[in-house]
């Protein structure tokens, strides 16, 4: 148990350090790195020094029905929405620890960038694997999309809706769902398993 | 089934309207001509959609509006009265003489003009009443061409099966006297917008998109019927659509040029969302009927109707649903879909639901 939390914190810390190098607004002209920085940034900001942890609820596709199941994780208790969001997505990408859950995204999927606008919209920019690895069925697509949207909106009050980008670009759809604009959460997919927050 | 027809109208979209105060709409009517003319003069630019169903014409706006006067009654065989419904819709109650409506917009100030044609006391209609339209149902076989959709473990491709099922359903419905149009009748790529455009152009009374599902969960089995989710098309989201597209800056310099979205897609989205929003209740009833029949026929398990923001349903100006007829990722279910008798049973179930819904007055 202690080990699991330790591992989760390590993942969270890595995501946090990475996210701290990011920004909350999209850079207009600068190219975004093609992949997330592999190394942990050494220049963590001073205000991040005494770090406590926070419990968050992640949504994963259910192994037993077409909905989502929840798992809790410990992340670094960062206040900036973009930092929290990046940690949550990093944990989601790592996958479920419980047999009741299935991976939320195809293998190899990485988060390239995440930023949060003041109007409550988060944009999560994923690598190409997110689309390339889908089964082509709407059931999986719906669960992948809402695992991301629900995990972010349930845990970051500043995020009310999520836009999903692939390799820096907007997409009409991953096949079925309308992704032309940010999606609000659909907690009905989690059935009775409401977020614990 | 109400014979619904919808006209979409772009009055103007100048970004989101956050005004807490409703937008004043001056309503004037003129019955002196052969037709009855209704002119709505808006105090501010706003997007509205005009939908028609028996006895009513409903003008739904993208922001709160307040009609002036709040309501009115006319001594007219074409238009009986008008009044607000909620804070965004103005409803015109049409009279027995009413046959059709034509709309156009004027700018500076923003005005919407509705010309209601019909007969008054035995006088001839100003415009010939539209010939009784054939009842058209549009069936949309999902995917196609280089987009196979889902692929089953033994190689069954969703695009082939959707076309097969759509052709069978077409034959069955046509036997019952319904005109059926397929969005594609061969193996080719068809953009999602074109699919609903075909239904809108044909003034279809129903739009049914046919798909087969797939899941990493190998035990996933059974049919599901979807209609558009309201959460994804709520007022806030529509408002945002207008805003987001103005403020959006692509994260990469090169992304803008390759973006699939036209610069005006905020306008397009608002209009389309309003379009399907007018039909959500009917879409829900159709989905419910189809799901009930499919559950009874397959006996696989009791699945309910579901909602999701399916891209292909967005622009439909008629009740629209998407049916996932089964999971071809499940080897047993994939095998069933190789059996002609099983495919016939599936389309018979859908046809029963369609007939029941379409037969309702």
Segments making up each domain of chain B, as ranges: 5-118, 136-359
Choice between B274 and B337, residue whose per-residue pLDDT is larger = B337
Contact list, B311 vs chain A (CB under 8 Å): 172-173, 176-180
If you average pLDDT over residues B20-44, what whole number do you get? Answer: 84
Would you say B116 and B81 are in contact if contact means Cβ atoms under 8 Å apart?
Answer: no
> For A38-42, A83-87, B23-27, which range has the lowest pLDDT when averaged over its residues?
A38-42
Nearest of B5, B28, B11, B17 to residue B112 by alpha carbon: B11
If you average pLDDT over residues B288-316, what whole number do you get? Answer: 87
Chain centre distance of CA B185: 22
Task: Using a CB–CB cutoff of 8 Å, tell me whether A22 touches chain B.
Answer: no
When mean pLDDT is compared over B26-30, B210-214, B257-261, B305-309, the highest value belongs to B210-214
pLDDT-based confidence at residue A49 (cuts at 50, 70, 90): low
Choice between B333 and B127, residue whose per-residue pLDDT is larger = B333
Q: B136-359 belongs to which CATH class?
A: alpha beta
pLDDT of B58 strictly over 50: yes
Indicate yes or no: CB of B251 within 8 angstroms of CB of A27. Answer: yes
Contact list, A62 vs chain B (CB under 8 Å): 217
Would you say B25 and B42 are in contact if contact means Cβ atoms under 8 Å apart?
Answer: yes
If you average pLDDT over residues B166-175, what whole number do you get? Answer: 97
DSSP state of A47: G
Task: Using a CB–CB cutoff of 8 Å, tell me whether A125 touches chain B.
Answer: yes
Interval B346-361: pLDDT, tens: 999 999 999 998 876 5
Residue with token string 């006319």: B74
Where is B105: in which H helix or E strand? strand B98-106
Q: What is the CA radius of gyration of chain B?
A: 23
Would you say B309 and B277 are in contact if contact means Cβ atoms under 8 Å apart?
Answer: no
Indicate yes or no: CB of A137 within 8 angstroms of CB of B327. Answer: yes
The pLDDT value recorded for residue A122 is: 97
The pLDDT value recorded for residue B270 is: 55
pLDDT of B263 strictly over 50: no
Indicate yes or no: CB of B252 within 8 angstroms of CB of A168. Answer: yes
Q: Is the torsion defined by CA of B260, B261, B263, B264 positive or negative? A: positive
CATH architecture of B5-118: Sandwich (2.60)
Interval B4-19: pLDDT, tens: 444 444 343 334 444 4
Chain centre distance of CA B222: 26
Task: Using a CB–CB cutoff of 8 Å, tell me whether A150 touches chain B.
Answer: no
What's the number of CA atoms in the CB half-sphere (13 Å) around residue B291? 20
Integer Cα distance of B90 and B56 in angstroms = 10
**Token pair for residue B111?**
């005005």
Task: Using a CB–CB cutoff of 8 Å, tell me whether A99 touches chain B.
Answer: no
CA angle, residues A87, B230, B10, in degrees to nearest 5: 110
pLDDT-based confidence at residue B232 (cuts at 50, 70, 90): low
Integer Cα distance of A81 and A43 in angstroms = 19
How close does chain A come to B170, measured CA to CA in Å? 23
Contact list, A183 vs chain B (CB under 8 Å): 232, 309
DSSP state of A117: -
How close does chain B come to A114, measured CA to CA in Å? 10
Indicate yes or no: CB of A186 within 8 angstroms of CB of B308. Answer: yes
How close does chain A come to B249, measured CA to CA in Å? 6
Integer Cα distance of A28 and B253 in angstroms = 6
Task: Using a CB–CB cutoff of 8 Å, tell me whether A180 touches chain B.
Answer: yes
Query: How large is the ipTM?
Result: 0.76
pLDDT of A30 strictly over 50: no
**Token pair for residue B219?**
């035990």
Count Cβ neighbours within 10 Å for each residue of A10-29 and write b for 16 or more, e otherwise.
ebbbbbbbbbbebebebbee
Measured between alpha carbons, how far is residue B111 from residues B9, B64, B108 in Å?
Answer: 11, 16, 8
DSSP secondary structure, B28-75, as one string: EEE-SSSSEEEEEEESS---EEEEEETTEEEEEESS-EEEESSEEE--
Contact list, B237 vs chain A (CB under 8 Å): 161, 181-182, 184
Q: What is the dihedral of CA B305, A188, A153, A85, to 10 degrees?
A: -90
Q: Using CB atoms, which residue from B249, B311, B327 is nearest to A26?
A: B249
Integer Cα distance of B201 and B21 in angstroms = 37
Interval B137-152: pLDDT, tens: 999 999 999 999 999 9
Name, in order, each residue with C-beta under 8 angstroms of A43's C-beta and a sequence gap of 6 or more: none
Task: Using a CB–CB cutoff of 8 Å, tell me whether A27 touches chain B.
Answer: yes
pLDDT of A59 strictly over 70: yes
Q: Using CB atoms, which residue from B259, B260, B269 is nearest to A181?
A: B269
**Token pair for residue B115?**
């010309």
Integer Cα distance of A171 and A173 in angstroms = 5
Indicate yes or no: CB of B244 within 8 angstroms of CB of A182. Answer: yes
One fold for both B5-118 and B136-359? no
The pLDDT value recorded for residue B4 is: 41
> For A132-141, B164-173, B330-339, which range has the lowest pLDDT when averaged over its residues?
A132-141
State which residue of chain A sits closest to B152, comparing Cα positions.
A135
If you average pLDDT over residues B68-78, what whole number do you get? Answer: 89
The pLDDT value recorded for residue B272 is: 57
Strand, coil or helix: what is B79? strand
Integer Cα distance of A62 and A69 in angstroms = 5
Strand, coil or helix: what is B236? helix
If you average pLDDT over residues B324-353, what whole number do you get? Answer: 96
Tally Cβ neighbours within 10 Å of residue A118.
9
Measured between alpha carbons, how far is residue B132 from residues A17, B50, B77, B128, B333 in Å?
Answer: 67, 21, 21, 11, 42
pLDDT of B242 strictly over 80: no
Integer Cα distance of B45 and A125 in angstroms = 34
Contact list, A161 vs chain B (CB under 8 Å): 237, 240
The pLDDT value recorded for residue A50 is: 62
Average pLDDT score over chain A: 81
If you average pLDDT over residues A32-58, what whole number do you get? Answer: 60
Nearest of B255, B245, B259 to residue A168 by alpha carbon: B255
Prediction pTM value: 0.66
pLDDT of A184 strictly over 80: yes
């Amino acid at each position: 148990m202690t080990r699991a939390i330790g591992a989760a914190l390590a993942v969270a810390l890595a995501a946090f350090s990475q996210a701290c190098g990011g920004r909350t607004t999209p850079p207009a002209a600068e190219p975004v790195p093609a992949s997330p920085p592999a190394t942990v940034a050494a220049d963590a900001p001073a205000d991040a020094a005494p770090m406590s942890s926070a419990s968050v609820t992640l949504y994963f596709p259910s192994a037993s029905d077409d909905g989502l199941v929840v798992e809790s994780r410990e992340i670094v208790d960062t206040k900036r929405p973009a930092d929290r969001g990046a940690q949550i997505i990093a944990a989601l990408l790592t996958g479920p620890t419980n047999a009741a859950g299935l991976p939320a995204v195809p293998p190899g999927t990485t988060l390239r960038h995440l930023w949060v606008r003041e109007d409550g919209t988060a944009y999560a920019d994923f690598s190409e694997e997110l689309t390339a690895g889908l089964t082509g069925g709407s059931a999986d697509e719906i669960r992948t999309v809402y695992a991301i949207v629900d995990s972010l909106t349930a845990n970051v009050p500043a995020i009310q809706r999520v836009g999903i980008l692939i390799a820096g670009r907007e997409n009409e759809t991953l096949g079925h769902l309308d992704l032309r604009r940010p999606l609000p959460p659909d907690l009905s997919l989690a059935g009775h398993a409401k977020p614990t927050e | 089934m109400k014979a619904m027809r919808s006209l979409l109208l772009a009055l103007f979209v100048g970004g989101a309207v956050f005004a807490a105060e409703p937008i004043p709409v001056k309503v004037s009517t003129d019955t002196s001509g052969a037709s009855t003319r209704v002119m709505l003069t808006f105090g501010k630019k706003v997007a509205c959609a005009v939908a028609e169903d028996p006895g009513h014409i409903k003008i739904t706006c993208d922001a709160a509006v307040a009609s002036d006067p709040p309501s009115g009654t006319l001594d007219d065989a074409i238009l009986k009265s008008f009044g607000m419904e909620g804070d965004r819709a103005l409803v015109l109650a049409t009279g027995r003489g009413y046959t059709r409506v034509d709309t156009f917009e004027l700018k500076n100030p923003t005005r919407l003009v509705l010309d209601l044609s019909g007969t008054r006391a035995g006088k001839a209609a100003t415009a010939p009443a539209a010939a009784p339209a054939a009842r058209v149902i549009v069936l949309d076989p999902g995917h196609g061409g280089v987009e196979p959709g889902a692929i089953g473990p033994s190689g069954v491709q969703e695009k082939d099966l959707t076309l097969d099922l759509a052709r069978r359903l077409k034959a069955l419905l046509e036997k019952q006297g319904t005109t059926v149009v397929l969005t594609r009748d061969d193996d080719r790529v068809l953009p999602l917008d074109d699919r609903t455009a075909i239904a809108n152009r044909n003034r279809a009374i129903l739009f049914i998109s046919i798909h087969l599902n797939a899941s990493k969960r190998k035990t996933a089995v059974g049919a599901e019927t979807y209609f558009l989710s309201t959460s994804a098309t709520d007022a806030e989201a529509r408002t945002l659509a207008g805003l987001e597209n103005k403020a959006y800056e692509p994260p990469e310099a090169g992304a803008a040029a390759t973006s699939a979205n036209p610069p005006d897609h905020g306008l397009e989205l608002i209009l389309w969302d309003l379009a399907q929003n007018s039909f959500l209740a009917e879409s829900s009833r159709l989905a419910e009927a189809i799901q009930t029949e499919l559950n009874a026929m397959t006996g696989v398990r009791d699945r309910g109707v579901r909602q999701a923001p399916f891209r292909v349903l967005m622009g439909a100006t008629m009740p629209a649903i998407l049916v996932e007829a089964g999971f071809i990722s499940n080897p047993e279910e994939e095998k069933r879909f190789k059996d002609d008798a099983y495919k016939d049973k599936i389309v018979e179930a859908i046809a029963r639901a369609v007939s029941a819904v379409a037969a309702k007055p």
